[in-house]
Amino acid sequence: MATTTFNRLMTEPRRTDNPSTAPARNPENEAAQSPSLMLLVLLASAGILVYAVFLLDPANRGDWLPYSMVIVAEVVLITQALLSMWTILSSGHNPRGFAFHHAQDTLYDMAEIIRRRAESAPEQWRMYIKDRPVTVDVFITTYGEDIETIRRTVTAAVAMKGEHLTWVLDDGRSDEVRDLAAELGARYVRRLTSNGAKAGNVNYALSITSGEFFVIFDADFVPLPDFLYETVPFFADDDVAFVQTPQTYGNLHNLISRGAGYMQAVFYRFIQPGRNRFNAAFCVGTNVIFRRTAIMDVGGMYSDSKSEDVWTSLMLHERGWRTIFIPMTLAVGDTPETVEAYTKQQLRWATGGFEIMLTHNPLSRKRKLTMDQRLQYFVTATHYLTGICPLLLLLVPPLQIFFNLTPMNLDLTLGNWLLFYAGFYGMQIVVAFYTLGSFRFEVLMLAAVSFPIYVRALVNAVFKREQKWHVTGQKGAVSSPFTFMMPQVWFFAFLLITTVVAVWKDLGNGYFSLALAWNATNTVILGAFVLTAAQEARRNKRAAAAAKKQKPETASAQLEAPREAVLVGATTGGAA
């Protein structure tokens, strides 16, 4: 493989020898430039505005309590939807210019590679920017992940094209991880404390390393060989602080992992690329390469929040640095597979967003941001309010079923309501269908049932409560998923009872109401989540039983181990 790459670099003509040559095509940007997508986004934006006018028309207003709940929820959703559509319309922007392509063409000195006889060792190819050699440190942050997960990531990181040093930053303080790093040719760093969590881990590594650039990978994200080849050339522009690549997932094999993964697909394919146009693309904590001097300019990675990635990006933008996102998969990792992992991940992300909203309002005059950046960070800071909106909307049908309180004028026909409603939600589904390739029930389910997580995150941010954080793939005892989702279980039971009452009531009235249909739909969605958790609990119980059964066998097999261990130790000691 390495020899093939070397031969290609030797035989292919350099694209930028002639400055008039058109830039190479970048297929990952073509989806964002699709005229069909642009048309759908414009139609969806029109549908959002029409629905907003319909809701705010006094003639359509119903009882004040459910109407107020609908208005609060829908204003948040409409605002976020419009700003997202605006960003998607900008997502065709291509950050690769002549400077990038020229830097990529001259990244390796082919004569030097031949001189050093390193044709088949691309990890030793020295990289150059503007004819000057550059140094790169690769940081892999670990905190108790499975050893095989870390092995895959470290092995791939060490083998990336371009000369670099790989460092394993082990906040789990594991001797097994230390030995693995030595085995694979990586350097190992262990701190005495875990102050500052992941940001503190990276900052400590920066204090003992000297690379001009540094890469961050979470322990469960396996980089592709071309990561440095596709990202380092952007630093030919001296104002670039970091280059972020997407989080792509390879474990989409159950309802939770698919829902969590697909929820982010549109963000990485269209929202982040759109932010390039406004110089507002932010770091997501992994699969990213930084310029050291940029991070030093803001005092290191921001460590006063568990969402250090977004906060660090905000600090960099306020200092005038430029950031770049490329929608090219250059590392593949794991998305949460369990209710516990998903809950704790979303809790961490949402708390960080709410902290920005409450303590560092991007719209404030104090912030040294452009208007575009202010709006983009405002969307980021308030995004998780959309996750609380389903709570308000879930309570509207029961108000009508139990108390005959209706959110809209009862003189409205069902056809009229559905027409305006479809203009908003129907077009959102169409856009999601187009961008994801199909309708994803998993996304709808997680979006509808995650409100307890976001309410808790908002409370944590308001009262500045600390939370014990969790990393995807961390080893340890398996918890029951119901430990983390009892609010959803209670809401499911309440909605199920409400649906039964609504059926009984509508049978007496001789017709089925919109409130029944709305409430029954919510019950099915929450029920699907509860069923998913029940299946996960059964899997966990079977796995625990299998592990318990295997444990006595392992213990008996180790009875003869001490004698053999002494012999091996003695042999090793003698050799040393």
Domains in the chain, please, with CATH?
A: 32-92+253-283+336-469+480-544 (no CATH), 98-252+284-335 (3.90.550.10)
Q: How far is CA 298 from CA 99, 282, 321, in A?
A: 26, 15, 10
Rounded Cα gap, residues 477 and 151, in angstroms: 21
Which residue is it, tokens 């039964």?
500
Q: What is the pLDDT of residue 471?
A: 46
Residue of 87, 100, 343 lying closest to 237 (CA atoms) = 100
392-424 confidence digits (pLDDT tens)? 999 999 999 999 999 988 676 767 777 787 778
Collapsed DSSP state (helix, strand, coil) of residue 273: helix
CB 319 within 8 A of CB 298: yes
Answer yes or no: 170 catalytic: no
Please give the structure tokens belonging to residue 219. Answer: 């322990």
Report the C-alpha gap between 487 and 499 in whole angstroms.
18
For the record, the structure tokens of 174 come out as 């594991």
Give the per-residue pLDDT at 43: 86
Alpha-carbon span 551 to 539, nearest angstrom = 18
> How far is the CA of 499 from the CAs of 266, 288, 399, 401, 506, in angstroms?
34, 48, 12, 9, 10
Q: In sequence order, which ranges of 159-196 are alpha helices (DSSP H)?
A: 175-184
Q: How far is CA 444 from CA 204, 434, 519, 522, in A?
A: 41, 15, 15, 11
What is the pLDDT at residue 423?
77
Which of 197, 242, 9, 221 has the alpha carbon at shortest distance from 106?
A: 9
pLDDT, residue 41, reads 84
Q: Catalytic: 171?
A: yes
Catalytic entry in 171, 218, 220, 334: 171
Active-site position among 170, 218, 220, 309: 309
* Number of Cβ atoms within 10 Å of the Cβ of 551: 10
CA distance 67 to 85: 26
> Residue 290 — φ and ψ, nearest 5°?
-110, 155
Count CB atoms within 10 A of the CB of residue 195.
12
Report helix, strand or coil for 289.
strand
8 Å CB contact between 123 and 162:
yes
Closest Cα to residue 495, out of 468, 467, 469, 529?
A: 529
Instruction: Give pLDDT < 50 ranges for the chain.
Output: 469-476, 555, 557-576
Structure tokens at 491: 């809401």
Beta strand spans in 174-221 (E): 187-189, 213-218
